[in-house]
Structure 1
Amino acid sequence: MINKQHLHPFALLIKVGFLFRDFLPAVFGFVFLRQYWQIWLILPIVLLMWAGLDYYCFTYEMTDKELIVNSGVIIKQQRHIPYKQIQNLKRRQWFFLEPFGVETLIVDTGAKEKDQREVTLLAVSNVVRMLLDFNSSEPTDLTQLPVEPVKEMKKSTEYKIGFKELALYAMTNPDILGQFLFILVISNHLGLTDIISNASDTLVDHVSHYGLVAILIVLNVIILSLVVVNLVRVMLRFYGFMVLRQDNLLTVQRGLIQKSILHVSINRIQSIHIRQNIFRQIFGLVTVELDLIADATKSDEQKRVTLIPVISQDKVYSVLKEFLDYPPEQAPIINKGDWYTSWLFVRNALVGVGIVAMAMAIFYHGFWYWVALMPLVILAIIFGWYKGYYTGVNRYDDGHLALRTARQLTNDTALIGWHEIQSMSVDVSLLMVWTKRANLIVSVRSGNQVLRLRYRYLPTQEVEAIFKWYREYV
């Protein structure tokens, strides 16, 4: 097959880049503190030497039955990976590697031990991937899929995202709000405080119009800059996004500077999550994610894979039906939480705020301190009501559940088949018995662990019906 050999020389370049990235904070620290400047001169040499040794000690070979990987500079390690043990191949390709037919391969073995789950071949020829595809007996490359069946597929079987959808995805990212607050906190370094101070003086001098205009201009520039930065981030991550199903395999491709291609077997999917934050509700957009078995990648797909970053809520179920077998054709009917459920969540949030307020009252006193707490009280009420309103469960057919809850103004609808549920339990306190409420806990596989989905303060009658349904199948 392939005799023992080193990675492509591009791997050395990538290793050096990763090392400098990891040590960049230390480098800036030496520069700004102007201390130990000798280390600033020695560090690049040490990093280059280490990268060279790491590259030299890493070799791989492919026999008729297994992939053998040797690694380690100080502690030598040899991994034997039978082809039948390979659960998944994930591909990444920097833009400068594509002309040379070189890419990064992440081999997922599905092992339970964290340090044994995957092997990364940092830069290898496309031939290596083709051989691994062939020997693991599942074709996982878009270019290797049969031509005729793809042409006969329905159009909705292949889903792509355009610039408009990505722009809406970036603008409705709640991280923008946190970034905006962070910039306000460090406004002293950006000169914003001086502008506000000058505007206040102008207000006192009866020319407040110009001061307010200056403040509004600065705030708009900050917001616009954040939108542009987040749009660039989204474009780099999801440019060229495409989902394709072929037989029992889903292929997710995305990325501009670094192309990422993920292959997911249908039988590894444990649950489907349709998420929608409060900003995307305005535009009617949702995000679709999948929980998988033993997905050991170290990126954001470690436990949950983004199947569709952004799609209209009106067509999400019809599109999902083309890719997966058990989603409903229309949004499942889930009863909204009643006023009492919302009140219980509001109560819990207010108790948390009250504990913090009483603790802080030891150091701060006075009328204005309690006035300053009012925004926290209002947020607790809003968050509690929102979660109670969107918490509910229901069956949408004989073998599948639709469960919805919310957290931090983001509602999450989970679609789960009974055979994917690891366990189900009902939690009832003494007070909840009197109020006829119960908590439903559903455990499913996520990555290499068990994810416990908790749906609280549901009517006891609904929880008992769901639990009885599950017991019938078990």
Structure 2
Amino acid sequence: MKPKHLHFLAYLEQLFIDGRTIFFAIVGIIAFFHLTWWHFFILFFGWLTFETLDFWKRRYWLTEHELVLTSGILRRKWRHLPYQKIQNIHRSQWFFLKPFALEKIAVDSGGQGGERSNQINLPVIPIWVTWVLQQKHQDPDIALSPLLEVVSEKRAAKSSDFDQGLAQKNGDKTLRTKRVEDDADERYETSIKDLFFYALTAPEVLLQFAIVFGFLGHLDDQFHFFRRLSDEVLAQSLLIIGAAFVAFFFILFVFNIIKTIVLYYGFSLTKRDGHLKIQRGLFEVRQLTFAEARIQSVQVEQNIWRYLLGLATIRLRLITDKSGDDEVNRKLPTLLPLIRVKRATRILHRFLPGLVPEENVTIKPDSLYPAWAMARNAVCWLVVISGIGLSFWLKTYTVVIAIFLIVIGGFAGFFKGSVTGATIVKEGEVLVLQSARLFTKKTVYLRWANIQSMTVSQSVWMAFFKKRAHLEVVVRTDDASTEIKTRYLPLPEAKAVYAAYQKAY
């Protein structure tokens, strides 16, 4: 494959992104310098020339063994990414790119340093390039020339069904059998009804209500409009106030439903040849393709509303530089937006049989002590913080707010302690940790091999009187690591988990 320039639309995107930065720089220049029109013309011409040269110097190509990208004007850079080192491939296609068979991709290598150091971004390239790259990623031994022949034939026929063309070419005995998408090993699609309930049970609705309500309160300080309106409404009926709040919540719910459908429309999870593909989006269709071996852990999340309704969201920890691509959760990409807990492990077992058991895992504390201890800790901390705050700002409503936060904190701690626990499944191969934070229950499945380190700790009180211990597990995520803590476990249980971890190595 010969070196290729990016599509012209990538140049326009580059101008738009860099132009925003230049705009604020020009505003700063105007504030401190008095420039004439021809000064601005020279600056604009110089910037446009630089952007054009930068775009022209950026080229990419595929070889038999690696993806190559060159860039830079004064300082040239050559970036080589072998196909075996590719961790994940992120695909993104806006609706206006689809008629031209174009898309954007980001290829992760999963090393230390983040996106800038370990990721190759190719904005606006033909989709056939991504297809060839995925084939080489899944099977680096496959020859490049037959793949390019399939692309050439399909493009001549004005078709983009490259998988079908590759399957037909298998008759030449030059390629191994490849299934087309409809013959995937496993496939799961999320319905509109699931997305609807996902939006209704999203915790950010209450936060949005608080933000908007606070903004309107500050606005009322200036115009006193709502104060006069409330006086008139109170003189008529309290029913109107209730109707206004209901209408306000309705608008927020509609907004979240629209947002969720735009982000997750057509959500599908597909597994084929040991690789998983997540696809979603209405106006911008996004795809994330990764090998099953890149999964560090699976996390089943339930906020308080979904916990009561028996619903859950499934998320992943991946070795990746771009898991923040998920706008809804910027740390853990979504594997399944919403599913009933009773079906969750069964569906996960179909896609990840080596990580998730087929039967539901039930974890319950041995007593109420963890719940009481965590509620006690939360209340004590909030009492201290509230006391310090009230010493500076003592009002009737601040006292009410402090009491409310203390009560909520106590319940949150009690809920966390009531679901905390750990167990070992899959014949001793997988550790399951369960805890909660801010009324969100989290159940994490992870293999011993994906644990970076494990710590068992005790306070003096726990060691001599309660025979309890805290278990802390460090797992790699993005280009760093994260800690998963399970507190107040019975000491024999914590030691058994630690012993199993040592035995695995």
TM-score > 0.5, shorter chain as reference: yes
Q: Is the 8 A contact 2:324 2:333 kept in 1?
A: no
Which 10-residue stretch deviates more, 337-346 or 57-66?
Answer: 57-66
Q: Give the match for residue 348 of structure 2.
A: 320
Q: How far is the alpha carbon of 1:170 from its aligned partner?
A: 0.9
1:20–1:404 Cα change, 3 Å: farther
- 1:103-118 equivalence runs, <5 A: 103-114=103-114, 115-118=116-119
Give the whole-Å Cα distance in 1 for the aligned partners of 2:179 and 2:316. Answer: 29
Corresponding residue for 2:373?
Answer: 344
Alignment partner of 1:379 is 2:405: no
Q: Show the counterpart of 2:135.
A: 134
Aligned residue type for 1:308? L
Is the aligned partner of 1:121 residue 2:122? yes
> In structure 2, how many angstroms separate the alpha carbons of the residues matched to 1:245 and 1:188?
50
Q: Which residue of 2 aligns with 1:423?
A: 453
Alignment of 1:226 with 2:252, yes or no, is yes
One-letter amino acid matched to 2:248: I
Letter in 2 for 1:172: T
Which secondary structure does the structure 2 equivalent of 1:327 belong to?
A: coil
1:329-386 Cα offsets, whole Å, 9 max, x none, are 1211211363221122112212221222222233223666433421111111111111
CA distance in 2, matches of 1:20, 1:220: 43
Q: Secondary structure at the match of 1:272?
A: strand
Q: Which residues of 2 match residues 208-223 of structure 1 at below 5 A?
A: 208-209=236-237, 212-223=238-249
Task: Evaluate the alpha carbon distance shift between residue 308 and residue 137 of structure 1 in structure 2; reply closer, same or farther with a 3 A threshold.
Answer: closer
How far the C-alpha of 1:239 sits from its partner, in A, is 0.9
Task: Report what 2:163 is aligned to.
Answer: 144
Q: Whole-Å Cα distance in 1 between the matches of residues 233 and 286 of structure 2?
A: 53
Question: Offset of 1:129 from its aligned partner?
Answer: 1.5
Alignment of 1:3-402 (within 5 A): 3=3, 5-19=4-18, 51-72=51-72, 75-114=75-114, 115-138=116-139, 144=163, 157-188=186-217, 194-200=225-231, 203=234, 207-209=235-237, 212-300=238-326, 304-325=332-353, 326-336=355-365, 338-365=367-394, 369-398=398-427, 399-402=429-432
Q: Distance in 1 between matches of 2:301 and 2:104?
A: 30
Give the unaligned 5+ runs of structure 2.
Answer: 141-159, 168-177
Q: 1:184-218 CA distances to partner (integer Å, 9 max, x unpaired)? A: 11114766963454333553xxx341xx2332233
**C-alpha contact 1:61 1:68 (8 A) present in aligned 2:** yes
Residues 460/84 of structure 1: CA separation in 2 closer, same or farther (3 Å cut): closer
Give me the TM-score of the superposition, normalised by structure 2: 0.82
Pairwise CA distance, 1:251: 0.9
Q: Deviations over 1:66-116 (max 9, x none)?
A: 333222356543322233332332211111111111111211122223232
Equivalenced residue count is 461
Are the structure 2 counterparts of residues 101 and 201 from structure 1 closer, same or farther at C-alpha, using a change threshold of 3 Å?
Answer: closer
Q: CA 1:285 to 1:462, structure 2 compared with 1: closer, same or farther past 3 Å?
A: same
Give the direction of change, closer, same or farther, for the CA distance of 1:221–1:45 in structure 2 (3 Å limit): farther
1:471 CA drift (Å) = 2.6
Structure 1, 328-337 or 60-69: larger mean CA deviation: 60-69
Structure-2 separation of matches of 1:342 and 1:256: 43
Q: Is the alpha carbon distance of 1:459 and 1:142 closer, same or farther for their aligned partners in structure 2, counting shifts above 3 Å?
A: farther
CA 1:51 to 1:335, structure 2 compared with 1: closer, same or farther past 3 Å?
Answer: same
Amino acid in structure 1 at the alignment position of 2:6: L
Question: Which residue of structure 1 aligns with residue 151 of structure 2?
Answer: none
Q: Distance in 1 between matches of 2:498 and 2:490?
A: 13
Q: 1:76 to 1:328 in 2, by over 3 A?
A: same
- Contact 1:289 1:306 (8 Å CA) reproduced: yes
Is the Cα contact below 8 Å between 1:199 and 1:214 reproduced in 2?
no
- Gaps of at least 5 residues in structure 1 are none
In structure 2, give the amino acid aligned to 1:252: I
Question: How many angstroms apart in 1 are the aligned matches of 2:405 and 2:422?
Answer: 30
1:369–1:323 Cα change, 3 Å:
closer
1:4-41 Cα deviation digits (max 9, x unpaired): x32101112222343466689x59x97xxx989999x9
Q: Is the 8 A contact 2:190 2:268 kept in 1?
A: yes
DSSP-derived class of the 2:456 partner: strand
C-alpha distance 217-19 of structure 1, shift in aligned 2 (>3 A): farther
Residue 494 of structure 2 is aligned to residue 463 of structure 1: yes
Asked whether the equivalents of residues 292 and 303 of structure 1 are also in contact (C-alpha less than 8 Å), the reply is: no
CA distance in structure 2 between the partners assigned to 1:305 and 1:36 by the alignment: 45
> What CA distance in whole angstroms lies between the structure 1 residues aligned with 2:320 and 2:351?
21
Relative to structure 2, which stretch is displaced further, 243-252 or 227-236?
227-236
Segment of structure 1 superposing worse, 141-150 or 366-375 = 141-150
Partners of 1:106 and 1:119 within 8 A in 2: yes
Deviation at 1:402, TM superposition (A): 1.6
Q: What is the aligned-residue RMSD (CA, Å)?
A: 3.3
Range with bigger deviation, 442-451 or 186-195: 186-195
Structure 1 pair 22–305 and aligned structure 2 pair: CA distance change class (3 A): farther
Against the structure 1 CA distance between its residues 256 and 359, is the aligned structure 2 distance closer, same or farther, given a 3 Å change threshold?
same
> For residue 226 of structure 1, what is the amino acid of its counterpart?
L
Distance 1:55 1:216, change over 3 A: farther
Deviation at 1:180, TM superposition (A): 0.3
Compute the displacement of 1:220 (Å): 2.2
CA contact (8 A) 1:195 1:215 kept: no
Using the TM superposition, name which of 193-202 and 235-244 deviates more.
193-202
